[in-house]
């Protein structure tokens, strides 16, 4: 009995839906012919939007911290980088860092990217033959290209530089890292890997360095 | 740590003494500074409408000087930079928008951009010319002549009315060539602008398409009784996409078919040139000149073309007389090894003989000594 009722109810719903759909189809075709059912005036409307250009960058990873540690007595230096290098024979207690800085273009405009450090290796670490190096790469493929016509980027895998560890550039002479850093997802993310060599006679205490990324709209 | 600025760009003409006001909005995750830098920044002042730790609204007033020596486009930067916070290796993000100031050239100076879209046959061709007055003086009598050319010959000439362009302004000239006036093909536009006793010429091209695909190149020679890499290049002559292009290729001797292949299908975007390559076995086809029949299928179109193809003898390999470099190198190494072995054996034999002789002499000496003792 209950099953019958539910079936009937179902049939009623189907018929109702058919009627509604036939009615709406009729309305659609009448409108398409230019006729109107209600006799109301047909008015035109304009949808308008103004999307402004926005240049924006984001350090999605903005801190590298190898923690506290020291160079072993038997070693002349300890080398660390953001790709997991932590030389245990030479380094004691430093944290292993497996990810460097990440820079994302989260605006709607392609930009050129310059990066600098406020310290050289000697200023940051001191001691005998210290090293403070960086290298850059596309995290998402084709994020960095050459500058094309107008504001466009052109695919160029070697546009991003330097691609191997190179001494950091200082604020007075920033490194021109990417001539055309794309704004379109999913090609808008760059890697900045860091490598340091801490000499056994380096400065002690908390050492800090600041990496500045300047993005300029193109 | 993100920082963004909007608008990212602004373009203004240099009007002596004029003040431009541009409103900027900045968003940041950290406290930030807002400033201008570069050319013309010395002529700006900033009015802060709102400035919190993470956002800001600023008005930049750019009051242009009466004179600026260097003509051309100059970019002034409007920047926002995060303030430093402590950390081992910390980061600061800075973002720069620009205001491009177009400084006029002395006297009369006009630039021009010419553009026309590709069309299909029967469609009108719209030609746009934008003339900019980048000089300090108003241009009062500019005239434009467009020469439409095909294969280096003039097919149509279009003349503009007299144009008046104030300094810093531009004039957009548009003309339309009716769809039935031009046959399919490649056309050139030579735009000649004359103004105030000066002239300037710019060129552009456009194409009128027809629903056709042309064979532009193919392999004309193959070796007999061999598997040959055969290539054929086609070009779309249509200003829309053509779906499903393929070819039936047959080597024919008169009306007799000797070998037939079918290329894999592909699509062509407007005006695309595309080469397709595949292997063709010519086993059983004697050396000679034949007809290559190409039945080209493209979307709903099909056409047959006959071209010449030559089946030739493969080159004779001169292996017996000419040794490859690697074989020569191996031969030299083998000879060196044999020589080294021979030298080693000889020297070893000599040493053994010498040792034996010395041993023999020692033995006879000992015997002599023993006899003397006795």
pLDDT at A35: 38
Q: Would you call A80 an interface residue with chain B, using a CB distance cutoff of 8 Å?
A: no
Of B1, B8, B87, the CB nearest to A109: B8
How far is A54 from chain B, CA to nearest CA, in Å?
4
- Terminal C-alpha separation, chain B: 109
DSSP string across A58-80: EEEE--B---S-EE-TT-SEEEE
Q: In the beta sheet, which residues pair with residue B276?
A: B232
Q: Tell me: the pLDDT tens digits for B157-196?
A: 999 999 999 988 899 999 999 989 999 999 999 999 999 9
pLDDT at A29: 44
- Interface-testing mutation among B89, B92, B97, B99, with chain A (most A C-beta atoms within 10 A): B89
CB contact under 8 A, A212 and B94: yes
pLDDT at B284: 92
Residue labelled with tokens 């500045």: A212
Q: Is the pLDDT of residue B244 over 70?
A: yes
Position B312 confidence tier, pLDDT thresholds 50, 70, 90: very high
Containing B1, the helix (H) or strand (E) segment is none
Q: Tell me: the pLDDT tens digits for B278-300?
A: 999 999 999 999 999 999 999 88
CB contact under 8 A, B95 and A214: yes
CB contact under 8 A, A216 and B98: yes
**b/e per residue A15-27 (b: at least 16 CB within 10 A):** eeeeeeeeeeeee
Cα B183 to Cα B140: distance, rounded to the nearest angstrom: 37
pLDDT at B322: 52
What percentage of chain A exceeds 90 in pLDDT?
60
CB atoms within 10 A of CB A11: 10
Per-residue pLDDT averaged across B313-328, rounded? 64
pLDDT at B341: 72
Q: Tell me: the pLDDT tens digits for A183-197?
A: 988 899 999 999 999
How far is B192 from chain A, CA to nearest CA, in Å?
24
| Contact status, residue B23 vs residue B73, Cβ threshold 8 Å | no
| Contact status, residue B143 vs residue B160, Cβ threshold 8 Å | yes
Q: Say which DSSP state A157 is in.
A: T
| Contact status, residue A94 vs residue A146, Cβ threshold 8 Å | no
Cα B3 to Cα B139: distance, rounded to the nearest angstrom: 44
Which residue in A139, A145, A121 sits closest to A193, CA to CA? A139
Cα B9 to Cα A215: distance, rounded to the nearest angstrom: 13
**In 3-state terms, what secondary structure has residue A26?**
helix
Q: Would you call A27 an interface residue with chain B, using a CB distance cutoff of 8 Å?
A: no
Q: Tell me: the pLDDT tens digits for B71-86?
A: 999 999 999 999 876 6
Q: Is the pLDDT of residue B246 over 60?
A: yes
Q: Residue ranges of chain A with pLDDT lower than 50?
A: 1-4, 27-43
pLDDT at A21: 58
| Contact status, residue A4 vs residue A11, Cβ threshold 8 Å | no
Position B325 confidence tier, pLDDT thresholds 50, 70, 90: low
Interface predicted TM-score (ipTM): 0.74
How far is B84 from chain A, CA to nearest CA, in Å?
8
| Contact status, residue B311 vs residue B258, Cβ threshold 8 Å | no
Which is it for strands B256-262 and B32-37: parallel, antiparallel or unpaired?
Answer: unpaired
Per-residue pLDDT averaged across B290-312, rounded? 94
pLDDT at A63: 87
């Amino acid at each position: 009995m209950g099953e019958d009722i539910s079936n009937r109810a179902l049939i009623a719903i189907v018929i109702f839906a058919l009627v509604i759909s036939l009615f709406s189809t009729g309305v659609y075709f009448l409108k398409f012919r230019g006729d109107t059912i209600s006799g109301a005036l047909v008015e035109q409307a304009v949808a308008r939007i103004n999307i402004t250009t926005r240049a924006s960058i984001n350090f999605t990873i903005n801190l590298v911290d190898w923690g506290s540690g020291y160079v072993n007595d038997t070693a002349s230096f300890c080398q660390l980088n953001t790709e997991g290098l932590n030389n245990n024979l030479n380094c004691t207690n430093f944290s292993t860092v497996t990810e460097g800085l990440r820079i994302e273009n989260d605006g709607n405009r392609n930009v050129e990217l310059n990066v600098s450090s406020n310290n050289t290796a000697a200023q940051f670490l001191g001691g005998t033959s210290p090293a403070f190096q960086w290298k850059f790469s596309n995290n998402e493929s084709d994020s960095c290209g050459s500058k094309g016509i107008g504001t466009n980027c052109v695919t160029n895998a070697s546009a991003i530089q330097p691609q191997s560890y190179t001494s950091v550039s200082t604020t007075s002479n920033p490194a021109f890292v990417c001539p055309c850093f794309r704004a379109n997802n999913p090609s808008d993310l760059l890697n900045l890997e860091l490598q340091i060599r801490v000499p056994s006679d380096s400065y002690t205490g908390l050492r800090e360095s600041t990496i500045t990324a300047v993005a300029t709209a193109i | 740590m993100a920082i963004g600025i909007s608008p990212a760009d602004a373009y203004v003409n240099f009007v002596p003494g004029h003040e431009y006001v541009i409103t900027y909005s900045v968003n940041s995750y950290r406290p930030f500074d807002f400033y201008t830098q570069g050319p013309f920044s010395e002529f700006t002042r900033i009015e802060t409408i709102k400035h919190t730790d993470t956002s800001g609204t600023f008005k930049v007033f750019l009051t242009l000087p009466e004179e600026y020596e260097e003509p051309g486009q100059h970019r002034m930067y409007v920047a926002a930079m995060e303030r430093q916070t402590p950390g081992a290796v910390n980061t600061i993000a800075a973002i720069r928008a620009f205001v491009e100031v177009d400084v006029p050239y002395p006297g009369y100076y006009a630039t021009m951009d010419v553009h026309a879209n590709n069309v299909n046959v029967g469609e009108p061709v719209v030609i746009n010319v934008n003339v900019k007055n980048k000089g300090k003086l108003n241009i009062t009598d500019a005239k434009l002549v467009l020469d439409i050319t095909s294969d280096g010959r003039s097919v149509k000439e279009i003349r503009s009315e007299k144009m008046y362009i104030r300094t810093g302004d531009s004039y957009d000239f548009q003309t339309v060539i009716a769809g039935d006036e031009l046959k399919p093909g490649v056309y050139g536009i030579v735009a000649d602008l004359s103004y105030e006793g000066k002239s300037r010429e710019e060129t552009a091209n456009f194409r009128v398409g027809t629903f056709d695909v042309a064979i532009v190149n193919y392999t004309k020679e193959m070796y007999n009784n061999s598997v040959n890499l055969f290539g054929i290049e086609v070009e779309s002559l249509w200003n829309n996409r053509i779906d499903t292009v393929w070819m039936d290729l047959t080597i024919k001797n008169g009306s007799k078919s000797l070998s037939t292949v079918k290329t894999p299908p592909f699509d062509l975007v407007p005006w695309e040139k595309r080469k397709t390559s595949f292997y063709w076995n010519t086993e059983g086809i004697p050396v000679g000149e034949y007809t290559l029949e190409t039945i080209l299928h493209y979307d709903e179109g099909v056409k047959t073309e006959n071209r010449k193809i030559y089946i030739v003898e493969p080159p004779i390999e001169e292996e017996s007389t000419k040794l490859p470099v690697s074989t020569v190198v191996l031969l030299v190494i083998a000879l060196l090894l044999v020589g080294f072995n021979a030298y080693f054996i000889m020297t070893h034999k000599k040493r053994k003989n010498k040792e034996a002789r010395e041993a023999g002499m020692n033995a006879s000496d000992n015997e002599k000594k023993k006899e003397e003792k006795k």
